[in-house]
Amino acid sequence: MILLRHDCLVFKTSDGDSFPCSTKEVTVEILGDAIGLLDEEIIKQASEGVLHYFKAELGKTTVTISEFSTALEQALKALGLHVDSANETPLPASNPRVVRSDLLNVAIDAGHGLDLFFFPRLRLVLDEVLQQSPDIACFRGLRGCVKQLLHAKRWSPGCQRLNDQIVDFLRTCFDIQKSASKCALLVC
Protein backbone atom coordinates (compact mmCIF):
# COMPACT_ATOMS: atom_id res chain seq x y z
CA MET A 1 0.00 0.00 0.00
CA ILE A 2 1.28 3.46 -0.89
CA LEU A 3 1.19 6.10 1.82
CA LEU A 4 -0.61 9.32 0.89
CA ARG A 5 0.87 12.74 1.49
CA HIS A 6 -0.81 14.53 4.39
CA ASP A 7 -2.63 16.89 1.99
CA CYS A 8 -3.99 14.18 -0.34
CA LEU A 9 -7.06 12.01 -0.66
CA VAL A 10 -7.89 9.22 -3.08
CA PHE A 11 -10.64 10.46 -5.40
CA LYS A 12 -13.11 8.14 -7.12
CA THR A 13 -14.50 9.30 -10.44
CA SER A 14 -18.00 8.57 -11.69
CA ASP A 15 -16.65 5.86 -14.02
CA GLY A 16 -15.04 3.95 -11.13
CA ASP A 17 -11.42 5.04 -11.53
CA SER A 18 -9.45 6.15 -8.45
CA PHE A 19 -6.49 8.50 -8.24
CA PRO A 20 -4.57 10.16 -5.39
CA CYS A 21 -4.44 13.93 -5.58
CA SER A 22 -3.87 16.91 -3.31
CA THR A 23 -7.03 18.64 -2.20
CA LYS A 24 -5.57 21.94 -3.40
CA GLU A 25 -5.34 20.68 -6.98
CA VAL A 26 -8.87 19.25 -6.88
CA THR A 27 -10.19 22.52 -5.42
CA VAL A 28 -8.61 24.46 -8.30
CA GLU A 29 -10.25 22.08 -10.80
CA ILE A 30 -13.66 22.25 -9.10
CA LEU A 31 -13.74 26.05 -8.84
CA GLY A 32 -12.26 26.60 -12.30
CA ASP A 33 -12.28 30.23 -13.44
CA ALA A 34 -14.15 31.35 -10.31
CA ILE A 35 -11.02 30.79 -8.22
CA GLY A 36 -9.60 34.09 -9.44
CA LEU A 37 -12.59 35.94 -8.00
CA LEU A 38 -12.22 34.49 -4.50
CA ASP A 39 -9.73 35.18 -1.69
CA GLU A 40 -6.87 32.69 -1.99
CA GLU A 41 -6.44 32.31 1.78
CA ILE A 42 -10.14 31.54 2.31
CA ILE A 43 -10.05 28.94 -0.49
CA LYS A 44 -6.95 27.36 1.06
CA GLN A 45 -8.48 27.22 4.54
CA ALA A 46 -11.79 25.83 3.24
CA SER A 47 -9.95 23.14 1.27
CA GLU A 48 -7.84 22.20 4.30
CA GLY A 49 -10.97 22.13 6.45
CA VAL A 50 -12.69 19.74 4.05
CA LEU A 51 -9.57 17.55 4.01
CA HIS A 52 -9.58 17.50 7.84
CA TYR A 53 -13.32 16.71 7.84
CA PHE A 54 -12.89 13.63 5.67
CA LYS A 55 -9.65 12.36 7.24
CA ALA A 56 -10.09 13.19 10.93
CA GLU A 57 -13.83 13.45 11.45
CA LEU A 58 -15.01 10.69 9.10
CA GLY A 59 -11.81 8.62 8.97
CA LYS A 60 -11.96 8.42 5.17
CA THR A 61 -9.06 8.62 2.75
CA THR A 62 -11.14 7.76 -0.34
CA VAL A 63 -14.00 10.02 -1.44
CA THR A 64 -15.89 10.74 -4.60
CA ILE A 65 -15.31 14.02 -6.38
CA SER A 66 -18.99 14.74 -5.80
CA GLU A 67 -18.61 14.31 -2.01
CA PHE A 68 -15.57 16.57 -1.95
CA SER A 69 -17.10 19.30 -4.09
CA THR A 70 -20.30 19.31 -2.02
CA ALA A 71 -18.31 19.58 1.23
CA LEU A 72 -16.18 22.36 -0.26
CA GLU A 73 -19.30 24.21 -1.38
CA GLN A 74 -20.76 24.04 2.12
CA ALA A 75 -17.48 25.18 3.70
CA LEU A 76 -17.33 28.19 1.38
CA LYS A 77 -21.00 29.01 2.03
CA ALA A 78 -20.31 28.89 5.78
CA LEU A 79 -17.65 31.53 5.16
CA GLY A 80 -20.22 33.73 3.45
CA LEU A 81 -19.28 32.96 -0.16
CA HIS A 82 -21.99 31.97 -2.64
CA VAL A 83 -20.88 28.91 -4.56
CA ASP A 84 -23.09 26.46 -6.46
CA SER A 85 -21.93 23.06 -7.58
CA ALA A 86 -23.59 20.74 -10.03
CA ASN A 87 -23.73 17.93 -7.47
CA GLU A 88 -27.02 16.44 -6.45
CA THR A 89 -25.79 14.78 -3.23
CA PRO A 90 -25.87 17.15 -0.25
CA LEU A 91 -24.06 16.50 3.00
CA PRO A 92 -26.28 15.64 5.96
CA ALA A 93 -26.35 19.16 7.44
CA SER A 94 -27.97 21.23 4.68
CA ASN A 95 -28.14 24.47 6.68
CA PRO A 96 -25.36 24.36 9.25
CA ARG A 97 -25.59 26.70 12.22
CA VAL A 98 -22.41 28.77 12.15
CA VAL A 99 -21.20 30.75 15.16
CA ARG A 100 -18.45 33.22 14.22
CA SER A 101 -15.82 34.83 16.37
CA ASP A 102 -13.18 37.40 15.38
CA LEU A 103 -9.63 36.53 16.44
CA LEU A 104 -8.46 40.10 15.86
CA ASN A 105 -10.88 41.30 18.55
CA VAL A 106 -9.55 38.65 20.94
CA ALA A 107 -6.00 39.88 20.27
CA ILE A 108 -7.00 43.50 20.86
CA ASP A 109 -8.80 42.58 24.09
CA ALA A 110 -5.76 40.62 25.30
CA GLY A 111 -3.39 43.57 24.90
CA HIS A 112 0.31 42.78 24.99
CA GLY A 113 0.39 39.58 27.07
CA LEU A 114 0.54 36.75 24.57
CA ASP A 115 0.80 33.73 26.87
CA LEU A 116 -0.55 35.50 29.93
CA PHE A 117 -3.69 37.03 28.38
CA PHE A 118 -4.29 35.97 24.77
CA PHE A 119 -4.42 32.18 25.02
CA PRO A 120 -6.56 32.07 28.20
CA ARG A 121 -8.93 34.61 26.61
CA LEU A 122 -9.06 32.55 23.42
CA ARG A 123 -9.99 29.47 25.44
CA LEU A 124 -12.86 31.41 27.08
CA VAL A 125 -14.10 32.61 23.68
CA LEU A 126 -14.03 29.03 22.37
CA ASP A 127 -16.06 27.93 25.42
CA GLU A 128 -18.63 30.66 24.73
CA VAL A 129 -18.89 29.63 21.08
CA LEU A 130 -19.30 25.92 21.91
CA GLN A 131 -21.99 26.68 24.50
CA GLN A 132 -24.14 27.94 21.63
CA SER A 133 -24.15 24.39 20.10
CA PRO A 134 -23.06 25.35 16.59
CA ASP A 135 -22.59 22.99 13.66
CA ILE A 136 -19.52 25.05 12.70
CA ALA A 137 -17.39 27.14 15.08
CA CYS A 138 -15.78 29.71 12.77
CA PHE A 139 -12.82 31.80 13.95
CA ARG A 140 -12.01 34.54 11.43
CA GLY A 141 -9.23 37.10 11.24
CA LEU A 142 -6.28 34.84 12.01
CA ARG A 143 -3.81 36.78 9.88
CA GLY A 144 -4.78 40.14 11.39
CA CYS A 145 -4.70 38.63 14.88
CA VAL A 146 -1.14 37.34 14.42
CA LYS A 147 0.08 40.65 13.05
CA GLN A 148 -1.62 42.52 15.93
CA LEU A 149 -0.05 40.28 18.58
CA LEU A 150 3.44 40.57 17.07
CA HIS A 151 3.04 44.23 16.05
CA ALA A 152 4.13 43.16 12.56
CA LYS A 153 3.53 45.15 9.41
CA ARG A 154 4.60 42.30 7.10
CA TRP A 155 4.23 38.54 7.33
CA SER A 156 7.38 36.85 8.62
CA PRO A 157 8.52 33.38 9.71
CA GLY A 158 7.70 34.45 13.28
CA CYS A 159 4.18 35.30 12.15
CA GLN A 160 3.83 31.86 10.57
CA ARG A 161 5.00 30.17 13.78
CA LEU A 162 2.46 32.09 15.87
CA ASN A 163 -0.22 31.39 13.23
CA ASP A 164 0.46 27.65 13.52
CA GLN A 165 0.58 27.86 17.33
CA ILE A 166 -2.85 29.54 17.48
CA VAL A 167 -4.39 26.97 15.10
CA ASP A 168 -2.87 24.08 17.09
CA PHE A 169 -4.09 25.63 20.35
CA LEU A 170 -7.63 26.00 18.98
CA ARG A 171 -7.65 22.44 17.62
CA THR A 172 -6.39 21.01 20.92
CA CYS A 173 -8.89 22.96 23.03
CA PHE A 174 -11.68 22.17 20.57
CA ASP A 175 -10.95 18.43 20.69
CA ILE A 176 -10.93 18.53 24.51
CA GLN A 177 -14.02 20.69 24.96
CA LYS A 178 -16.40 19.69 22.21
CA SER A 179 -19.22 17.46 23.26
CA ALA A 180 -20.44 14.42 21.34
CA SER A 181 -22.04 16.77 18.82
CA LYS A 182 -20.88 16.91 15.20
CA CYS A 183 -19.47 20.43 15.51
CA ALA A 184 -16.65 21.40 13.14
CA LEU A 185 -13.92 23.97 13.71
CA LEU A 186 -12.97 26.44 10.97
CA VAL A 187 -10.07 28.87 11.41
CA CYS A 188 -9.37 31.40 8.67
Structure confidence by residue, pLDDT tens digits, 12-31: 877 677 777 777 777 777 77
Residues 108 and 160 in one domain: yes
Sign of CA dihedral 28, 158, 140, 165: positive
pLDDT for the residue 122: 92
Return the axis-axis angle of helices 40-52 and 23-31, rounded to nearest 10°.
120
Q: Is residue 124 part of a domain?
A: yes
Q: How many domains does the chain have?
A: 2
Q: Is residue 62 part of a domain?
A: yes
Residues 112 and 181 in one domain: yes
Q: Is residue 90 part of a domain?
A: no
Among 19, 47, 78, where does a domain finish?
78
E-assigned strands of the chain?
8-12, 18-22, 62-64, 98-102, 136-140, 184-187
Residues 67 and 37 in one domain: yes
pTM of the complete model? 0.53
How far apart CA 154 and CA 152 sit, in angstroms, is 6
Least confident of 36-45, 143-152, 165-174: 36-45
- Tell me the DSSP string of 22-59: EHHHHHHHHHGGGGGGS-HHHHHHHHHHHHHIIIIIS-
pLDDT digit string, tens, across residues 121-130: 999 999 999 8
Mean pLDDT of the chain: 78
pLDDT for the residue 95: 56
pLDDT for the residue 35: 65
Residues 41 and 106 in one domain: no
Q: Is residue 2 part of a domain?
A: no
pLDDT at position 4 over 70? no
Q: Is residue 91 part of a domain?
A: no
Host domain of residue 55: 8-78
